[in-house]
Chains A and B, each alone.
Chain A
């Protein structure tokens, strides 16, 4: 793998503009890495020709001085973004072969900004999972290995597991992810990269396969905080085609980056010190506190009293919304159809039985149950009330602080197969990520260090609504002090 594969988006952009290398050279380097990295199963579709076409346009534009913000940058796109004419299946058999005749708003913005597409990225089926093991394409293998001399295949996290593995393995300088309850942040933490979920409504959901509409947000994943800022600027912005899109100007986050945190207060929520979390995770959290103090911030203890109820709240609301959203997969308009049954009703049921995997069925069933007559108030309405309290907790905490620091996940990457038999153990992976999702707040993971197994650990920053800048700046302060330059040793 060439040196271009380990450059940041900012370095690629600036080097390309300065004429140090061409966009075609960049695209060729990443196309080659994608092909050489097939053992990781990170990509579900490879589109080297699209990456090259965008690169050639960028090289022409450089000659005529008509460069766009992402000219010369090839990206990977998570499989649930509709990409015109290219398979978009959300990691599910029920959408096998679906080629959208349209482009999602977010991927369309990236293309309009000059970016090329390297391919579509593997993910948990319908983004339901924390290990990428529910994908119809099989799990993504993390580029990382434990340092115990063993050869255990590890998860890159999920649901944006292909996205995370692609960046960590130098198979894309940046990618899109989506985050419903941690699906950008947990895989970023597991693979030693950065990822940000912006405020709910910043990125249009139009053309993104829906999982839980009140929680789903797109966001970038990349090597550095700066790269996340660059991509997020292009991905964000008002879209009349999404009813919950925020009609607000997009800040210049890259230009606004500053790791000087003087005058900023960082909140440390006591409820995030939970039992059973490895000592190393809490030690890194303490180190993160020191790093932010060193950057000039004042650290204050805060309380988010309803934290322990966030996961059960999420596992009512997200399945409920999913059961409604996934009702559209009926074998009529697109995707799989099971034939050989007599009635229309049997066709629906047989198609959905054949097309959905076990975790998706489980969530549709739970969601159907909590929305059904007689149970709606006891489960769904109750969960929405607790969600109000969780959101209120954050609002009160943000009177005393500007940004919140926590660990991203309660463990480092685990082995494939280790948690698949126990859904609740899998759900606990997102214990630190889910509260910010329920409250719609911007949050990001940045690499903090390695644990004793040699695996990456992330630190998690949660900001006030619309304050992506505060999150990015605190992330930058950690990035500068953590000096995380570790890379997975190439074995693939």
Chain B
């Protein structure tokens, strides 16, 4: 949990670079440097949630009470290969083509 007294959590360029890697967004060093203060501004602002006493409070899972439905385990769609591939940047032989993964 986030105690109210905890010091401001801030990130540095290495951490931003790591997050960019996790998010699969290529970033130049200057973009990373520019994002560090933006990131810290936003994180510093959301840290005010540490003031809120949430002991014993369950995290919200469904905003409106609703039951999760089950459907019969039957095929109800399919046989639309050409539609599925219609927007692909590179479709070959009925498949999505990507840069070679295994040499």
In the assembly, what is the distance between CA of A173 and CA of B49, in Å? 42
Say whether, besides A344-B99, A424-B42, A389 and B57 are in contact (CB < 8 Å): yes
Contact (Cβ within 8 A) A309 B48: yes
In chain B, residues 56-80, which have Cβ atoms closer than 8 Å to a Cβ of chain A? 57-64, 66, 68-69, 71, 80
Q: Please choose the segment from A21-29, A149-157, A223-231, A330-338 that sits at the chain B interface, where 4 or more of its residues have CB less than 8 A away.
A: A330-338
Q: Which residue of B lies closest to A363 (CB)?
A: B42
A362 to B37, CA, bound (A): 12
Residue numbers in B under 8 Å from A377 (CB-CB): 1
Determine if A315 is an interface residue (Cβ-Cβ < 8 Å).
yes
**Which interface residue of B16, B45, B68, B87 has the most chain A CB atoms within 10 A?**
B87
A316 in contact (CB, < 8 A): yes
Task: State whether A347 and B23 are in contact (beta carbons under 8 Å apart), knowing that A312-B45, A312-B46, A315-B46 are contacts in the complex.
Answer: no
Q: A100-112 toward B: CB 8 Å interface, digit per residue (1/0)?
A: 1110000000000
A13 within 8 A of B: no
Distance of B36 from chain A, by nearest CB (Å) = 11
**In residues 1-59 of chain B, which contact A (Cβ within 8 Å)?**
1-2, 9, 11, 16, 19-27, 35, 38-39, 41-43, 45-52, 54, 57-59
Chain A nearest Cβ from B34, distance in angstroms = 9
B66's partner among A201, A312, A316 (CB-CB below 8 A) is A201
CA distance A332 to B24 in the complex (A): 14
Identity of the chain A residue whose Cβ is nearest the Cβ of B62 in the assembled complex: A244
Contact of A337 with B89 in the complex, beta carbons under 8 Å: yes
| B59 & A384 in contact (Cβ 8 Å cutoff) | yes
**Is the CB–CB distance between A313 and B49 below 8 Å?**
yes
Whether the Cβ atoms of B24 and A439 lie closer than 8 Å is no
Give, as a whole number of angstroms, the nearest-CB distance from A242 to chain B.
10
Does A240 sit at the interface, judged by CB under 8 A? yes
Pairwise interchain contact A382-B2, C-beta atoms closer than 8 A: yes
Q: Which residues of A contact B26 (CB under 8 A)?
A: 346, 349-350, 352-353
Would A365 and B63 be within 8 Å (CB), given that A309-B49, A378-B2 are in contact? no
Q: Chain A residues near B46 (CB, 8 Å)?
A: 312, 315-316, 379, 383
C-alpha spacing A348/B21, complex, angstroms: 10
Q: Which of B21, B63, B84 contacts A391 (CB 8 A)?
A: B63
Contact pattern, A 22-66, Cβ under 8 Å of B = 1, otherwise 0: 000000000000000000000000000000000000000000000
* Residues of A contacting B88 in the complex (Cβ-Cβ under 8 angstroms): 332-334
Residues of B near any A CB (own CB < 8 A): 1-2, 9, 11, 16, 19-27, 35, 38-39, 41-43, 45-52, 54, 57-64, 66, 68-69, 71, 80, 83-84, 86-90, 96, 98-101
Beyond known contacts A244-B64, A388-B57: 4 more, CB 8 A cutoff: A334-B88, A348-B24, A364-B23, A385-B59
11 contacts between A and B (CB under 8 A): A99-B86, A200-B63, A243-B68, A335-B87, A344-B100, A362-B42, A365-B39, A369-B39, A372-B22, A379-B2, A389-B52
